[in-house]
Structure 1
């Protein structure tokens, strides 16, 4: 479940926040057909904070109708209030999720004690395995290795999704976390342009934005690592550098929406107040997609 490529699609929706079920199912089917290791639904790429509880459930049900029994579905259940996060977690469990991805969403900065209690409460409300979502760029809360270790002792908290460190710090971070949480706890990373080195170093999972739209090149990198071919993995990653440059310049969310629209897979815009890319940047995305022959 928490191994290999976890592909995170966008959640196409209209201006009122109503999910385009057919478009979402097209995206999910691409991932199922590519045999990704799991599907990360309603993550940051899936714009979960911008959707109502009802629409989040509709998205889960729509994805489960395509993926259930084929690709496990990891569902984001983060919310500002603990009781809301519990309700969303239970909704996800009932609607067909196989696991939860939980971020400490907050307006007021949280303490370690508050985050621990939040996670303990949500995890106790469901039977699903839970992955810690460490996304300080969005939540403004950073999980220390010590806090991850404490949370790993809760029975159904079984994984963490961390931002990928720079290549020079990968081994040290992995060794430190492994020593604290044990071999059975999954250590995964996001930040597509950095993750190849974490996989080569022994990370368990890649939580991928680009994999949610273009799973094939990401699966190729994962397979190369699994087959003990780090040079091939690095070459495949380097081939995607024009796309990584766009991610860094414009944000992965905006770029992946532009790419999905350029291919005609969806017709959707990011949730307001996030705006689509400017025409010149959209042109750059189209050119890169065509040059890399991404389909």
Structure 2
């Protein structure tokens, strides 16, 4: 269900910092029209850490309504508090999400046993397909292959978004549990090598602005057209890197704004791109034909 080209969709805000639902619905249409397989609201790229519970529900509900069952909706409902993650996940299920994306506990820095118990508690309490999310650069800790493999035995755990950047760890998960859990890339620039090892797709940042191109590369890999896929991968590499010249989602939201897809308004503590980085982003986007010189 949660495979292929998936977008970690941004959450647009208006100039007063309120959720811009109309722009959000338009972003969803842009994604579906360009072949995106799964919409992922309220992830890191969606500035979920700045949303209160009411806003979180509204964003997910708006996404489910606008998608209208045309593609699956994988709602971000993770938290560093297990009870909160259970509540958010149950809310998403009640609203009609097809699954939930659960970041590993951040800031607390639990042991691997603690990580296991956290995810098992959510899986035991909420009967919905669950995709785990390992991103050490955000959480301050790595969920090991052994922990992921252990969790793959739970029937509600169906996938993991791996953003550790460790191809050995990723390969270990696929080798031991690839028949029980779908591994997907959490890093655009690693999608090709990860899928070559057996990953099932990507939850992409760059797809916010180039959904058709990300889908084309994933399709080429799935069709074993590796020469085509390699050319696409190398062509997109500079743009992928540009999306991380500062903290995600600052560059991608700025890029989407430059393309007229939504506003560039961020919520504190995020701030706008530094002038030099903005100039660099514009130069790269111009080279890709995304904006005029």
Q: Place the TM-score, normalised by the shorter chain, in its bin.
A: over 0.9
Where 1:184 maps in the other structure, the secondary structure is coil
SS in 1 for 2:22: helix
Tell me, yes or no, if structure 1 residue 81 matches structure 2 residue 77. no
Aligned equivalents of 2:217 and 2:143: distance in 1?
28
Partner SS for 2:245? helix
Q: How does 1:88-237 map to 2 (within 5 A)?
A: 88-163=88-163, 165=165, 170=167, 172-237=168-233
After superposing the two structures, state which structure 1 stretch, 96-105 or 47-56, moved more: 96-105
SS of the counterpart of 2:273? Answer: coil
1: distance between equivalents of 2:197 and 2:165? 12
Q: Are 1:80 and 1:107, in contact at CA under 8 Å, matched by a contact in 2? A: yes
Instruction: Report the TM-score, using the length of structure 1 for normalisation.
Output: 0.92
Q: Aligned partners of 1:156, 1:236: CA distance in 2, in Å?
A: 34
Question: Which residue number corresponds to residue 23 of structure 2?
Answer: 23
Give the deviation of 1:132 after TM superposition: 0.8
Q: Distance in 2 between matches of 1:285 and 1:108?
A: 34
- CA displacement at 1:248 relative to structure 2: 4.1
- Larger CA deviation: 271-280 vs 56-65: 271-280
Instruction: Call closer, same or farther: CA 1:197–1:203 in 2, change over 3 Å.
Output: same
Which residue in 2 is equivalent to 1:6? 6
Could you say what secondary structure the match of 1:132 adopts?
Answer: strand
SS in 1 for 2:249: helix
Change in Cα spacing, 1:213 to 1:92, as seen in structure 2 (3 Å) is farther
Cα separation, 1, equivalents of 2:241 and 2:49? 26
Q: CA deviation at 1:200?
A: 2.6
SS at match of 1:5: strand
> Mind listing any 5+ residue stretches in structure 2 that lack a counterpart?
none
CA distance in 1, matches of 2:78, 2:17: 17
* The 10-residue stretch of structure 1 (53-62 or 75-84) with the greater mean CA deviation from structure 2: 75-84
Contact in 2 for aligned 1:100/1:128 (Cα 8 Å)? yes
Corresponding position: 1:267 with 2:251:
no
Aligned-residue CA RMSD (Å):
1.9
**Counterpart-to-counterpart distance in 2, 1:127 and 1:212:** 30
Displacement, 1:175? 4.3
What is the TM-score normalised by the length of structure 2?
Answer: 0.92
Relative distance call for 1:268 and 1:98 in structure 2 (3 A) is same
Inter-partner Cα distance in structure 2 for 1:18 and 1:257: 15
Q: 1:17 deviation in Å?
A: 5.3
Kept after mapping to 2: 8 A contact 1:149/1:180: yes
* Cα distance in 1, alignment partners of residues 201 and 281 from structure 2: 27
Distance 1:242 1:182 in 2: 30
Deviation per CA, 1:243-277, whole angstroms, max 9, x where unpaired? 13323432442210111110111113222111010
Q: Secondary structure at the match of 2:266?
A: coil
The equivalent of 1:254 in structure 2 is 250
Q: Quote the Cα distance in structure 1 between the aligned partners of 2:15 and 2:113.
A: 38
Cα distance change on mapping 1:226 and 1:107 into 2, 3 Å: closer
Q: Is 1:32–2:28 an aligned residue pair?
A: no
- Give a deviation string over 1:208-228, Cα, whole Å, max 9, x none: 111133211101111111221
Local SS of the residue matching 1:92: helix
Aligned residues: 291
